[in-house]
A = this chain, B = another copy of it.
Amino acid sequence: MIDMTIRSASQTHEATDITNLLKVLADENRLKIISCLSSGEKCVCQLADALDIPQNLISHHLKVLKTNRLVSDERRGRWVYYSLKDKRLSDFVAQAGEFCDCDDMDCP
């Protein structure tokens, strides 16, 4: 069998790890949350308001992001504030745009 390790500058990762990360990112609501958090920490109700998404759904997606160590949380009083663990994450997501449809010349 073939070696399915994927190499980046500093590390090697199994394809399954990367697949899993991409699955986490491949959700519109989670991308919106990440985009929203890129300007700084927000509590759940701020995200729910800003994105017009029900509170329980925001909470669910934040849990997915937290489980996968993409965001961290901190309770202050009644509020729980979430923030990106790595600010570069939103840049990474934006980079994906480079590969979206019609980036190339032979596009009809």
Chain A residues at the B interface, C-beta cutoff of 8 Å: 1-2, 4, 6-8, 10-13, 15-23, 25-28, 31-32, 35-36, 50-52, 68-70, 85-86, 88-90, 92-104, 107
From B2, B6, B31, B104, A15 is in contact (CB under 8 Å) with B31
- Given the known A-B contacts A1-B52, A31-B6, A94-B7, are A18 and B100 also in contact in the complex, defined by CB atoms under 8 Å? yes
| Stoichiometry (number of copies) | 2
From B6, B68, B97, B101, A12 is in contact (CB under 8 Å) with B97
Residues of B within 8 A of A89 (CB): 99
- Given the known A-B contacts A12-B97, A26-B23, A93-B18, are A51 and B2 also in contact in the complex, defined by CB atoms under 8 Å? yes
